[in-house]
Structure 1
Amino acid sequence: MNRRTTALSAAVALAASLALTGCSSSSDAAGDGKPELKVSGAFMPKPVTDMAGGFLTITNDGDTADRLTSVTSPISDDVTIHETKDQKMREVKFFDIPANGKLSLARGGNHIMFMSLKEKPEQGDKVSVELHFEKSGPIKVDLPVEAANHNPQQH
Structure 2
Amino acid sequence: MSFKTFATAAVAAITLALPALADSMIMIGDPYARVSSASANSGAAFLSIANHGDEDDRLIAASSDAAKRVELHTHKENAEGVMRMMHVPGGFAVPAGGSHQLMRGGDHVMMMGLTRALEHGDMVTVTLVFEKAGEIVVEVPVDLERKPMHGKMNHGH
TM-score range, shorter chain: 0.7 to 0.9
For residues 23-102 of structure 1, the aligned pairs below 5 Å read: 35-48=24-37, 49-86=40-77, 87-93=83-89, 94-102=91-99
Contact 2:32/2:141 (8 A) holds in 1:
yes
How many residue pairs align between the two structures? 121
Show CA shifts across 1:58-115 (max 9, x none). 1001110001010010011210001112222210121111110011000111111111
Which stretches in structure 2 are left out of the alignment for 5+ residues? 1-22, 78-82, 152-157
* Structure number, greater radius of gyration: 1
Compare the two structures and name the one with the higher strand fraction.
Answer: 2
Runs of 4+ aligned residues of structure 1 deviating over 3 Å after TM superposition are none
Q: How far off its partner does 1:46 sit?
A: 4.1
Contact 1:83/1:91 (8 A) holds in 2:
yes
Compare the two structures and name the one with the higher helix fraction.
Answer: 1
% identity of equivalent residues: 35
Q: In 1, distance between residues paired with 2:35 and 2:114?
A: 12
TM-score by length of 2: 0.72
Amino acid at match of 1:103: H
Which stretches in structure 1 are left out of the alignment for 5+ residues? 1-33
Q: In 2, distance between residues paired with 1:82 and 1:96?
A: 13
Amino acid at match of 1:59: A
- Please tell me whether residue 118 in structure 1 is matched to residue 115 in structure 2: yes
